[in-house]
Structure formats: C-alpha cells, structure tokens
Structure 1
Amino acid sequence: MADSTVRSTTRVAGFEDPELDFQLLRQLGSAAYGGASVGECLAAAARIREAGPHSWTDVFAELADQQRTNAQQLSAAGHRLGARDRYLHAANSYRAAEYFSPFGTDRHVELGLASRAAFLAAMAENRTEIEEFWLSWRGQRLPGYWFTPQSDGGRGPTLVVTSGFDGTLEETYFQIGVAALERGWRVLQICGPGQMDTARTESTTSFVPDTESWVSAWIDIALDRPEVDPDRLALLGISFGGYFVLRAAAHEPRIRAVVANSPVVDLRAYLVSFLAGMGGDPEQVLTPEEDFSLDDIDQIPDAEMPPTVKEMSRSLIRRFGQTTFLNTFHYLREFNVDPASITCPALALVGSGEGGEPIRQYEEFAERSGGPVTRRMFTTAEGADTHCQLGNLTLSNAVTLDWLDDVLNR
C-alpha cells in the first residue's frame, strides 16, 4: 500500500444515535459562518464513535484547547485573521463540549466561560465593534452582546436576537449575527433567566413564563442608543426562543416585526412531545408516588431510567427552578401565549423534519395570529428540514433577512 494513492482517510460518517447525529450536524452547519472546521468535526466524530458517546465532551474540549492554543500562537506571530478564525472555532468547540456536560457542574461552567473567552478574543483580533452588556434583572445579571456593522452610517435597522434552551450568545453569532451584520443590521444578542449564558454566572437562575419582563428591559437598552431606528426594530427567537419572542411580542408594542424559528405557543405541549417514546405526559402517566426529585435521580437504577434520560430530567427540573419532575410539568402550564394577541408582522419558520408537535404549533400560530404572518417550511431536499435549519443556515438567513428587509421598508 506504500505506493497507493487515496483521496483521504477522513470519512463522512455520523452516529446511529439521532441526538448525537443532530449535534454533529449542528456543529458542521456553523462552518458556513466560521464556527467550525468540517474536517476537525469529522475527525472528532470518528474519535467519539471509537470511544463511545460518553466521550463527546472530552473530545470536543480537547479539540477546543488545541484550537485555542493555535489561535494564541497565530496572534503572537501577528497573524490576526488566522487567530480570529481559530478562536471562533475554539469558542464553538467549547460550546459543543458544554452541551453534553451535566448542567450546573463546575465542568459545565468552565467550558461555557472558555467559550465566551475565546469568542471575545476572536472579536478583539478582528477589531469587530462589539460591546458586552450585563443587564440587571430581579437580582440577576443577564449577559448580552451589541454588534455594529462595519458600514454603519448612523441610524438604521436593529435585530434583537435570543436563543432558547441550550443555545448560547456565541452560537447565535454564527447562526444569524454574522449574516445580519453583513447586511448592515445592528445586532443585539440577548439572554434571559435560565439560559445557558446566564447560568455560567448565576447558578440559581431559571426560566420564567413572563419573558416580556426581561425582553422589554433589553429593548429599553436598544432604544436608548441613538443609532437605533425605533421604526425598524425586529425581534428574533431561535428554538425555545420562539416562545420567548412571541410571548414578548404579545406584550411589547415597540417590536415592529417578529421572527419565530420555530413558533412555540405552548411550551409544555412542546416538551411533552419529546417524551412520546416514554409514555407521554408525565402528569398522566406518573402517580404522585412515582414522582422524583433531584436527590432521587441518582438512586434510580439505569434499567428503569437510562443515564441520558436521567440527565435530561435533572436539567429540566433545575432549569425551570422546580423541586420534582411533576412539579416542573405543572409549572410549564404557565408557559403559553395567545397568538391572537400578537399584531405585528411575523415570520414563522419550521423544518419539515421537526416532528408533528412543532409543525402543529407553527400552523396554529400562523392561523390564529392577530397580525400578518408569512410562513416558511424548510424541506429535506433543501438540506434545511432540521430544527432551526442548522444544516443550511445560509438559506435560512436569506429567507429571514430578505423578509425583514421587505417588511421594514429599508
């Protein structure tokens, strides 16, 4: 074989497990906007297949460390753009490692803060106009980033963006921030209580149903800036952020247009749909005697509750600030919004491969909204049927930003 010729030893292969495969696609999709190297992602996937799913966090953390070291070396040598690119890769690799690290542990926080630090180092190398914000809200500090486009010429359109259950500010930059800045939008990326970025510094933070309480506070910050045109202020939510922004739009008249990717009008029903393979609605299939708390989870045999389900349950209970599993789903009854109360123009996005419940809520929102709604369902043929179109972000951003340009009459 010494005299043979081959194209590559890298193979385009994912995982049998659909969640691992989705998370790999999530990382690969970010390459379109500088969030990853395809080859490094595939090499990491090969290592994880060999070592087992439990190795995901360690593999991506090691990759992030290597990318950060490379960035530091490039920066020291004066190669600013090369350093920027590698810091961005490191930031997103740390985010990938953070995803499967148990929520709230020291390792989880360490990886999240490393992602943030690498991202800010990238922005410094690129000399990007970025400001860090810490919004004081009900005794917590909520983090955010303000970005100004290089072609800034005074007042202009502003996009306020939030992610959802497990997205981060840094990932949001790859998902929509870069594309919006390229088109001349001012971008304010925000977080609320319970979100991943907030949890890095606020250990007891948890989601609240009245998301307008913190979104409106962020809008106050945006409208205080002289370069923001109040008539061209849009709000966009990614994943669970679809609920956050629709709930806010129902109460906040200063929002001129809203994008929900995807629309979530009943967060409890959305979450219950994830449990279809485990019997369905916990309040219907579990008795009070079968309920369990955070302290009980580790005592449950793996044969009765697989480790992945244990971690999901632990995260849900903690992220919603409750004490037991059933209490969490009872509390979720407060997380809903009446589509008829939203009157500003809206863009509803969903992937055809997201499943029945997301599509049902997408259709319900579009049919019952109190204002004009533009619908867009992305397909498998477009490579965009995934949750939040992570497999084809360029198409998703073209649809989103073209719509916003048209609606806000730029």
Structure 2
Amino acid sequence: MKDVSGDCARTPTRRTALAGLVGGAGAVLATGCTPTGATPAARATATATASPGGPTPGVMTLFDDPAFNFSALMALGGSGQGAGEVGEVLTAVNAITKAGLSSQTYVETFEKLGDLLMAAPVGSEPDDRTRQWRALRAAQYYAQALFFVLGSDKPGDEERLYKAGRGAWDTFCRLSDPAPVTANVPYGSTPLPVWFFRPDTSARRRPTVILTNGSDGQNVDMWTYGVRAALDRGWNALVYDGPGQGQLLFVNQVIFTPTWEKVVGPLVDWLTARSDVDPDRIALTGLSMAGDLAPRAAAFENRLAAVVAMPGCLTPWLGFPPEVREILQPSKEETNTVWNKEVVPELPAADAATLKKRFEPFSVQAMLDARKGRMFTDFYTPAKRIEALDITNVVGRIKMPTLVLDYEDEQFYPGQARQMFDKLTSPKDYVKLTAATGAQLHCSPMAPQQHCEVVFDWLNETLPGR
C-alpha cells in the first residue's frame, strides 16, 4: 500500500492526474477505518504467493485489491472477539472470488450471510446465546455489505442495509447478559443513541471507557475494539453514534462536526449522573479518524481522566492524495468549476463510487446524490468541513494522560501519530504495533485482541482502582 504523506509525481494536467486516481493511489483515499483507495471494480484476487515483504504477506492477502482486502481482514480479525467466524468469512471470500470480485458480489455475498445468521439455524431451535452471537456476526457482515453498497447496482439500499445491521446489533444487545442500558443523550436537535455496557447490574462505581468510532465504522467494531475487553476487566463501556456516524448519518442525516467536545460533553454529563460510574475514572478512546476526534474533545473536556488516540491523527484532510486536496481553492465557485468540469467527467464509475463514499459523512447532499447513483456537484463544502477537523493547534491544551497508538504500514495517516505525540504536553505514551505479531496496518485489523491488550493495560495502569 502506497504511502502518500509526501507529494506525488506531477502529471501534465489536473485532469490526467485525477483520471483513475483512486486505482492508482492504492488504499489512501480514506478518512475512516476502511480504506477505499482501490477501486470497487472487479480485480484479480491474490494468492498465497503475495510478496512476503508486503504489509499483508501470503495468506493475509484475501484479495489483491487493498480496499476489499482490508475490509475482509477486519471481519476476519473480529472473529477473535465473536464478531465474525473464520470459516464464514473465508467461505464468503471464496464465493466472491468465484463470482468475480466487485462491489456487487461483495455486497450480495455478505448481505446473504447476514440474512442467514438472522434466521434460525437448520436442524435445531437456537437458544438465546446462539441467537445473540449469530446476531453479532450478522451485524459484522451487514456492515461489510454496507460499506461497498454505493458502488453496487443498488446504491439506494444504503439506509436499508444500515438498518439491517442496526437490527442485528440491537438483537445482540437485547440478548446480552446483562443487556446494555440504552438511552438517547441530548445533542442539538438530534439525540445521540447510546449503549451502556456493564459487567453486572450492581451499583458499584466502576471505571468507564467511552468508545468513539471513526468515519465509516459500525457499532460492531466498538465491540471488537473495546467493549468486550472492558467488560472482561471490570470496566463499563459506552458505545454511541455521533454526528456523521451510524443512525445520525444514515437515518437522521447529521454530518460530522469539528467541535467534538460538544458531542462528548453530554455523554460525560450522562455518565456522571449514574451511580455505577466512577466520575474520576472516565476515559475516552478514538478509533481510526476518531484518533482526531477524541483528542479534540479531550482538549476541551477536562472531566476526562485519560484519552487514547488509535492512531494519533492531527489532520484527516492529509489522508486524501495531493491531487484531491489540490482541487480545493479559496473560491467555492472556482473549486466546484474544476470539480464538475475537469474531474467528474474523467472519473471511472468505480473511482466515483469511492469518492462518494469518502465524502458522504461530510455532506447530506453528497450522501443523497450517491444513493441516487449521482456524483455530488459541491466539492467545496464537504472538503472544507474535512479540512476543519485539523487539531494541530489544540492538542497542546490536553491535560490528562494520553496514549498515542501507531501502526507499522499505517496507510492513511503515516507519520501523524508521532507528530501528535511530539506536540502533547500532558503525560503521554507512544506505542507502535508492528508486523512482528501481525498487528500492522491501520487499526491492526488482524490483531484487535493485541490492540485491546495494549490499550487496557495502559488504562488500568493510568487509572488504577481505588
């Protein structure tokens, strides 16, 4: 996967630079947990002969296309936390390969697998535990389908697929023991849905972690990257949909905000009002692009006792290749003229689908256009919103202990974790997860258990019991 932290070689014109950009740049056109740099078009699948020196050597390469491969690795990695099944994922990969890799085959295969798991298993009457864990795996597979649906023949199915995954997640939660407390926390005109997981129903005050998702993750990812680990260690865990995420994006049509402290503040209010939360031991984690959002919130919300950036990210806009960033000019009119006259006409359909996915959390109109199979015409507005997520000048305000994670072969925000660490003036630690134990790549998709061990060992050391 190509590192694009530096300038790319110049081509004769902006038009030729952007034509085929997504496929040419590799898995770099991303601001969230799933890369979309490679096109969703059909490509040959990889074999176990992949380069042993690459970021996903040998059998770790499920698909030659880095976008599909990364997404499938997330599902495979979630198996260790019950959010997937190795045999199910690999069987789906084989089915997609046989049919010919494309967004269409990927969406159809994983949606069918989700539907299968939400139905009763053949030959037996499932008990609550069986239905619970089948529902969690179904939530994973619906999320897999959801991510690529804008590149399929039915982009208008996006909200329906989100609701299918949300229904599976809610079924899992309802059957959990104890079931998480659910609520709607006030936030502007659209409340934040929350799921508050507890090890038990006692009134004992416990440390609590607020788990923040990235720009395209679903709640099942928060189970994989924190809930289960928290419960195993006697912590409470709060999962929520913020603006630009989950229900708020796909149903309520609320996009990302750069002032994430206004999102976290009401969550802390809600937690500190509970008798089973230790108000002095509330931590905040941020996965993927939330490695920018969580530190932003921590810079202004002093009631937090610790914060973890996974990975550290100062400027999400740099997660886009230079050729995309260069479209943005001071003038909205000039920007959109270049976009609509020079860029959009030259984009292959698969590359267009990738750009639609990347920009939809930052523009309601872009999302609605994408669902109708159209390219958005206003590039300037969502691009400026992404640009506004820059936290370079605010991380120095953070006062609480901070853990910054980094990953070998980080393909989205290379170098930014170390830059964030260097700018912090609070007590701080830096950990880089590596290929030595299969924990390379953005968010360590093949090693979420290792990921959680690092985070929760640090949290327990930083916020010891009283």
TM-score by length of 1: 0.87
Report the AA paired with residue 421 of structure 2: A
- 3-state SS of 1:101 partner: helix
**Hey, what's the Cα distance between the residues in 2 that align with 1:279 and 1:211?**
25
1:347-362 alignment, distance < 5 Å: 347-355=403-411, 358-362=413-417
Report the AA paired with residue 346 of structure 1: T
**Hey, what's the Cα distance between the residues in 2 that align with 1:140 and 1:151?**
29
Question: 1:22-55 CA deviation, whole Å, 9 max, x = no partner?
Answer: 0110100000100111111111111212222121
Q: Which residue of 2 aligns with 1:14?
A: 62
Shift of 1:72: 9.8
Q: Which residue of 2 aligns with 1:309?
A: 351
**Hey, what's the Cα distance between the residues in 1 that align with 2:430 and 2:179?**
33
Question: 1:152-176 CA deviation, whole Å, 9 max, x = no partner?
Answer: 5600100011101111122211221
**Hey, what's the Cα distance between the residues in 1 that align with 2:408 and 2:234?**
30
The yes-or-no answer on 1:265 pairing with 2:310 is no
- 3-state SS of 1:332 partner: helix
Given the superposition, is the C-alpha separation of residues 235 and 13 from structure 1 closer, same or farther in structure 2, using an over 3 Å criterion? Answer: closer
- 3-state SS of 2:180 partner: strand
1:178-193 alignment, distance < 5 Å: 178-193=228-243
Give the conservation status (yes or no) of the 8 Å contact 1:31–1:37.
yes
- Percent identity between matched residues is 27
The yes-or-no answer on 1:29 pairing with 2:77 is yes
Given the superposition, is the C-alpha separation of residues 124 and 326 from structure 1 closer, same or farther in structure 2, using an over 3 Å criterion? Answer: closer
Given the superposition, is the C-alpha separation of residues 152 and 393 from structure 1 closer, same or farther in structure 2, using an over 3 Å criterion? Answer: farther
Q: Which residue of 1 aligns with 2:137?
A: 89
Q: Which has the higher contact order (CA 8 A, sep 6+)?
A: 2
Q: Which residue of 1 aligns with 2:447?
A: 392
The yes-or-no answer on 1:252 pairing with 2:252 is no
**Hey, what's the Cα distance between the residues in 1 that align with 2:303 and 2:236?**
16
Report the AA paired with residue 336 of structure 1: D
Given the superposition, is the C-alpha separation of residues 47 and 171 from structure 1 closer, same or farther in structure 2, using an over 3 Å criterion? Answer: same
Report the AA paired with residue 356 of structure 2: R
- Pick one of 213, 216, 219 that aligns with 2:268: 219
User: What is the number of residues matched between the two proteins?
Assistant: 387
- Pick one of 298, 315, 334 that aligns with 2:388: 334
- Pick one of 184, 192, 208 that aligns with 1:142: 192
Higher mean C-alpha displacement, 217-226 vs 48-57: 48-57
Given the superposition, is the C-alpha separation of residues 386 and 47 from structure 1 closer, same or farther in structure 2, using an over 3 Å criterion? Answer: same
Given the superposition, is the C-alpha separation of residues 122 and 72 from structure 1 closer, same or farther in structure 2, using an over 3 Å criterion? Answer: farther
Instruction: Indicate the RMSD between aligned Cα atoms, in angstroms.
Output: 2.6
Question: 1:211-254 CA deviation, whole Å, 9 max, x = no partner?
Answer: 11111111111111111111111000101111111110000000
TM-score by length of 2: 0.77
- Pick one of 106, 119, 132 that aligns with 1:56: 106
Unaligned segments of structure 2, at least 5 residues: 1-58, 366-376
Give the conservation status (yes or no) of the 8 Å contact 2:407–2:441.
yes
Unaligned segments of structure 1, at least 5 residues: 1-10
- Pick one of 17, 37, 41 that aligns with 2:89: 41
**Hey, what's the Cα distance between the residues in 2 that align with 1:392 and 1:179?**
13
Shift of 1:351: 0.8
1:164-243 alignment, distance < 5 Å: 164-202=214-252, 204-243=253-292
Q: Which residue of 1 aligns with 2:43?
A: none
**Hey, what's the Cα distance between the residues in 1 that align with 2:123 and 2:162?**
22
Q: Which residue of 1 aligns with 2:3?
A: none
Given the superposition, is the C-alpha separation of residues 235 and 87 from structure 1 closer, same or farther in structure 2, using an over 3 Å criterion? Answer: same
1:68-87 alignment, distance < 5 Å: 68-70=118-120, 77=125, 79-87=127-135
Give the conservation status (yes or no) of the 8 Å contact 1:92–1:115.
yes
Shift of 1:105: 5.3
- 3-state SS of 2:300 partner: coil
Higher mean C-alpha displacement, 399-408 vs 163-172: 163-172
Give the conservation status (yes or no) of the 8 Å contact 1:378–1:384.
yes
The yes-or-no answer on 1:281 pairing with 2:335 is no
- 3-state SS of 2:419 partner: helix
Shift of 1:308: 3.1
Shift of 1:306: 2.5
Q: Which residue of 2 aligns with 1:5?
A: none
Give the conservation status (yes or no) of the 8 Å contact 1:256–1:345.
yes
**Hey, what's the Cα distance between the residues in 2 that align with 1:83 and 1:198?**
27
Give the conservation status (yes or no) of the 8 Å contact 1:144–1:169.
no
Shift of 1:292: 3.4
- Pick one of 432, 436, 443 that aligns with 1:377: 432
